[in-house]
Chain A
Amino acid sequence: MGQMMEPVSFPKLTPQNSSKEWALTGAKDRPANLIKSLYLDPSALEKHNLVINETIQKIKRDEVQVETAQTDDAEIIIAAYGTIARIAKTAIEVLRGKGLKVGLVRPITVFPFPSKTFEEFADRRFLVVEMNFGQMLEDVKLSLGGRTSVHFYGRTGVVPNYDEIIIEVEKLASRK
């Protein structure tokens, strides 16, 4: 978080007393508690992994965060997060001014990944823009399951300008 380029604001943290029965507070008037992940017995290990997996599934259900913008009539959707999403919004304004129907899906969480949101737009074409060689690209493709075309534009080391994104979208639009 100390490295984030976008501003982050936190609620004020106040210390809280929690009385979790598993907490390690000294084994007074109760059996000793143990927090561990090492299970040498294979079936005990699998049981533990199933419990962890339940939590992961719950996170996937409850903790997805995603922003969509101007997707209703969009024919081309840009998928981008962080700084690039901000630049993409400028590009979309310009493209809309030129009459192109372009929208944005901005994952706020990349784990859990907002696959459902992408699935909803499986009838549109996608341009994934990232500041790397395509770290989110595979997640987008997996979510769309080959039902539509997914294109990619990446810069590495350079923050792309919005006009670069405009050129990419126009190339895509002209291909139909």
Chain B
Amino acid sequence: MLAGSRSENMQTQLQKVFGRPRTLRPVATHYCPGCGHGIVARLIAEVIDEFSIREKTVGVAPVGCSVLLYNYLDIDMYEAAHGRAPAVATGCKRVHPDLLVFTYQGDGDFASIGTAEAIHAAARGERITTIFINNAIYGMTGGQMAPTTLIGQKTTTSPYGRTKEQAGFPIRMAELLATLDGASFIARVGVHTPKHIIQAKKAIEKAFSVQMNQHGYSMVEILSQCPTDWGMSPIEAVKWVEEKMIPYYPLKTLKEPSE
């Protein structure tokens, strides 16, 4: 009796301050422990809920660990062929200009096989948003070198570390796209500490509002941990983002509309 009434008291005092976003499906994800993808999936769901746009948002997820995003977000979604998400998103947005359309692409996808589509979608000023997950590696296929792999970084296809002589230099997609007139909002953020996660969410909010306010192309590059293919523990992986990735890929807003 006593125990029962005590818990009743507690219930009336408890206030719900944190829960699962409506847009995030209540399912387990396939992401490895410590992966950045899961954090970003949640951030996107939170932003969609806060803007109340779940019913008018369409996402496009191409090949990569990114693709299964369609299992986690409770919105209309396309799977696209490797690198082709900006083309699919372009078609969707042009037919349905009132929808919010975003792509969710890895670095192998966006900065390698899909570079041409990425650059031309930005150059055309397509009113779409790209969430670009830069984990400096081909995650899904088992850790091959990506265009974003750092000099010296070991991958299955650069077992002694990437060299500039053999593989050239890592591509900074944010800086590259920021040079294009069609790009309205370009930022690079991280998800390796709570502080950075909050900043990443703000950048996604900004990118979505840029699209909703009829500006041009918007892109958020997110430095993301891939402990599995980096051969690290989740803790080592967040340190690696801070110590190795950020010096080469500085976190900043490179471009935003003047208002």
**Using a CB–CB distance below 8 Å, which chain A residues touch chain B?**
24-29, 32-38
Contact = CB atoms under 8 A, between A and B. Distances in A.
A32 B96 contact: no
Contact of B54 (A27, A33, A36): A27
Given A25-B99, A26-B99, A27-B74, A35 B79 contact: yes
Interface stretch (B55-63, B116-124, B144-152, B242-250): B55-63
Given A24-B92, A25-B99, A36 B57 contact: no
Nearest to B53: A26
Interface residues of B, number: 18
Given A26-B99, A27-B54, A28-B56, A34 B67 contact: no
B10 to A, nearest CB: 36
A96 to B, nearest CB: 50
A36 B56 contact: no
Interface string B99-122: 100000000000000000000000
Contact of A38 (B56, B67, B92): B67
Contacts of B54: 27
Interface of B: 54-58, 63, 67, 70, 73-79, 92, 96, 99
B93 to A, nearest CB: 11
19 contacts: A24-B78, A25-B58, A26-B56, A26-B58, A26-B76, A26-B99, A27-B54, A27-B75, A28-B55, A29-B55, A32-B73, A32-B74, A34-B76, A34-B79, A36-B77, A36-B78, A37-B79, A38-B63, A38-B79
Contacts of A38: 63, 67, 79
Contacts of B92: 24
Contacts of B96: 25-26
Nearest to A38: B79
A50 to B, nearest CB: 19
A34 B70 CA distance: 7
